[in-house]
């Protein structure tokens, strides 16, 4: 008898939670979206795209793994004693990588950290496309840090 009452309460509590779940998910998405939009260079559509592609960054422990997932991290290719070449990882995330590449254009203009990185790479004599891919990597690392820390982007943030 006592067992049946507690089972009914549990079932009732689960039903109430399932009714509230969409609202709770929407509130979390809205909060996270606003956090990402605080980064200069990331807009609403890009933030939503990143959330869908990464499942709210829940499957990643480090920012490097996010960069590798979207193929913006440099990778060294070599085989035995042959020449070592540097290139990008090849995965099927081309659409998102292209969106991030477009975001890097505005990040170079608006985000001081990305602008400094871009100019530093160009000063070394590297090509603009390589510098923009590095900015994409920087943006992804910033988004990962913002979501994991739950703090808005701060220009003068130091560890």
Closest CA to 152 of 63, 51, 57, 34: 34
pLDDT of residue 1: 45
CA dihedral 111, 112, 117, 121 (to 10 degrees): 100
Residue 159 belongs to a domain: no
Helix or strand (DSSP H, E) at 96:
helix 94-110
Residue 84 belongs to a domain: yes
Q: Where are the beta strands (DSSP E) in the chain?
A: 74-77, 85-88
Burial readout 55-76 (b: 16 or more C-beta within 10 A, e: otherwise) = eebeebeebeebbbbbbbbeee
Residue 157 belongs to a domain: no
Q: What residue numbers bound the domain in which 33 lies?
A: 2-149
For the chain, how many structural domains are there in total?
A: 1
DSSP helix/strand/coil, 75 = strand
pLDDT of residue 26: 73
DSSP helix/strand/coil, 98 = helix
Residue 48 belongs to a domain: yes
Residue 155 belongs to a domain: no
Which residues on neighbouring strands pair with residue 65, listed in sequence order? none
Residue 67 belongs to a domain: yes
pLDDT digits (tens, 9 = 90+) for 18-52: 776 666 567 777 888 888 888 888 888 888 888 88
pLDDT of residue 64: 84
Residue 158 belongs to a domain: no
Low-confidence ranges of the chain (pLDDT < 70): 1-5, 17, 20-25, 74-92, 157-159
Residue 52 belongs to a domain: yes
């Amino acid at each position: 008898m006592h067992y049946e009452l507690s089972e009914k309460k549990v079932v009732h509590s689960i039903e109430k939670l399932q009714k509230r779940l969409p609202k709770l998910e929407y509130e979390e998405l809205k909060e996270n979206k606003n956090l990402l939009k605080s980064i200069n260079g990331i807009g609403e559509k890009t933030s939503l795209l990143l959330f869908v592609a990464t499942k709210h960054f829940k499957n990643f422990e480090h920012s490097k793994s996010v960069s590798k997932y979207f193929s913006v991290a440099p990778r060294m290719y070599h085989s035995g004693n042959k020449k070592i070449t540097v290139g990008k990882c090849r995965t099927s995330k081309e659409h998102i990588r292209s969106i991030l590449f477009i975001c890097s254009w505005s990040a170079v203009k608006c985000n001081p950290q990305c602008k400094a990185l871009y100019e530093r790479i160009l000063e070394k004599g590297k090509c603009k496309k390589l510098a923009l891919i590095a900015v994409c990597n920087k943006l992804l690392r910033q988004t990962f840090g913002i979501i994991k820390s739950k703090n808005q982007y701060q220009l003068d943030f130091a560890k």
